[in-house]
Amino acid sequence: MDRLLSFAFQLSLFLILAFIALPILVVLAASVSPTTTITFNPSEWTFQWFTALTASRWLDPFLLSIKLAAIVTALSGLLGFLAAYAVAYQKCPGHETIMAFLVSPLAVPQIVKGVAIVLFLSSSGFYSLLGTPGLVMAHIILTLPFVLRMIAGAMYNFDKRLDQAGRILGATAAQRIRFILLPIIKPGLFSGMTFAFILSFNNIPLSVFLVRPGETTLPITVINHMEYSLDPVLAAVNVASLAFILTAILVFEKIGGFSTQIHGGSK
C-alpha cells in the first residue's frame, strides 16, 4: 500500500515536471532548428540564431534588462528591508495598517499600474523620466510588495531574545542589525530579491508603457520583433534569457541560502 502510494507520488511529480518542462524543450528545439519548422533531428541543428544574438539589436536590450533588474533588485531589497524593519520588526505605531498599504499595489493589475504611471508622468510634467528612470520606479512599485512580504515574514519569525542577547552583550542597534538580524533573515531577503530580479527582468505589462526608442528592454524587443516575424531567433532569445535567469537564481541561492526557507532543508 505504502509502495503504491509512493509510486503514485513519484508519478504525479514526474507528470508535473514534464508539464512544466515540455514547452521549454520545444522552445529549446526551435532555437536550434534552421527554419521556423521545428526539427528534433540533431544532425540538422544549428547555432546560427544564437550567433545572431550578439548583434546590438539584441545585445543592447539584453544589457538594459540586466542593468534594470540589478538596480531594481538592489533598491527594492534596500527599501524592503528598511520598511520591514520599521513595520515588522520595530512594530511602529499603526504597523498593521502601514503593512497593508505597502503591499496594496499587489491588488492592482500590472496593466492598470502601467497606465496610471504613464498618466501620472505625463500629467505632472515628468515626461522626461520615461526610459530607464521610469522603468526603475515602475518596477520597484511592482516588486516592493513581494520583497517586503518575504523580509517581513523572516522578521516575524526572528527570535527577539537573540536581539536581547546581543544588547546585553553591548551591541549597538547598528551592530545588532549587521551581526544578528541580517545574517538570520538573509534567506528571506535574498528570496525576495530573487523574485524582484525575475519580475523585473521578464516584465512586459509595465515596461511596455515606459520604454522609448533606444531604451527598450529585452521582453519588449521580443514583442516588437514578433509583430513582423516568428523566426527562430526568438526561441534563441528565450533560451538565452532562461539560461541567464537560472544562473541568476543559482547565484542568489548561493549567497542567500534561501532554499532552506523554501523546502525546509537543513543548513
Partner 1 sequence: MSSNDIEMISVTKAYGSHRAVNEVNLAIPAGEFVSILGPSGCGKTTTLNMIAGFAHPSSGDIRIRGKSQNGVPPEKRGIGMVFQNYALFPHMTVEENVAFGLKMKKRPIGEIRDAVKHALRRVHLDGYGERYPKELSGGQQQRAALARAIAPEPSLLLLDEPLSNLDLKLREAMRVELKDIQEQLAMTFVYVTHDQDEAMAMSDRIVVMQNGVVAQCGRPADIYDHPRSSFVADFIGKSNLLPIQEVQRSGKDWVVSVATGLSLRAKTPDDTLADPPQYCCIRPEAVRLTMVESDASTSANRLAGTLTRMVNLGAYFDCFVTLQDGTVLKSLVRSTRLPGLTSNQTVFLSIEREAVQLLPR
Q: Name the DSSP class of 107.
A: G
Q: Please calculate the CA angle 88-91-92 and round it to the nearest 5 degrees.
A: 125
CB of 73 to partner 1, least distance (A): 23
CB of 87 to partner 1, least distance (A): 22
CB 149, CB 103: distance < 8 Å: yes
**SS3 category, 94:** coil
Separation CA 76–CA 140 (nearest Å): 6
Reading the block at residue 63, the C-alpha cell is 544589457
Counting contacts by CB under 8 A, is residue 111 touching partner 1? no
> Contacting partner 1 (CB under 8 A), which of 10, 35, 90, 175?
175
Side chain identity at 198, as an amino acid letter? I
Counting contacts by CB under 8 A, is residue 112 touching partner 1? no
Counting contacts by CB under 8 A, is residue 187 touching partner 1? no
Counting contacts by CB under 8 A, is residue 255 touching partner 1? no
Strand partners, 212: 215
Counting contacts by CB under 8 A, is residue 80 touching partner 1? no
Total residues contacting partner 1 (rule CB under 8 A)?
17
Counting contacts by CB under 8 A, is residue 253 touching partner 1? no
Separation CA 146–CA 152 (nearest Å): 10
Residues 87-99 as b or e (16 or more Cβ within 10 Å = b) = bbbeeeeeeeeeb
CB of 179 to partner 1, least distance (A): 7
Which residues 150-169 are close enough to bind partner 1 by CB under 8 A? 159, 161-162, 164-169
Tell me which stretch binds partner 1 (CB under 8 A): 11-19, 84-92, 112-120, 179-187.
179-187
Separation CA 143–CA 72 (nearest Å): 8
Which residues 31-60 are close enough to bind partner 1 by CB under 8 A? none
CB of 156 to partner 1, least distance (A): 17
Q: Which residue has the cell 542568489?
A: 252
> Contacting partner 1 (CB under 8 A), which of 171, 204, 223, 242?
171
Binding site for partner 1 (CB under 8 A): 159, 161-162, 164-172, 175, 179-180, 183-184
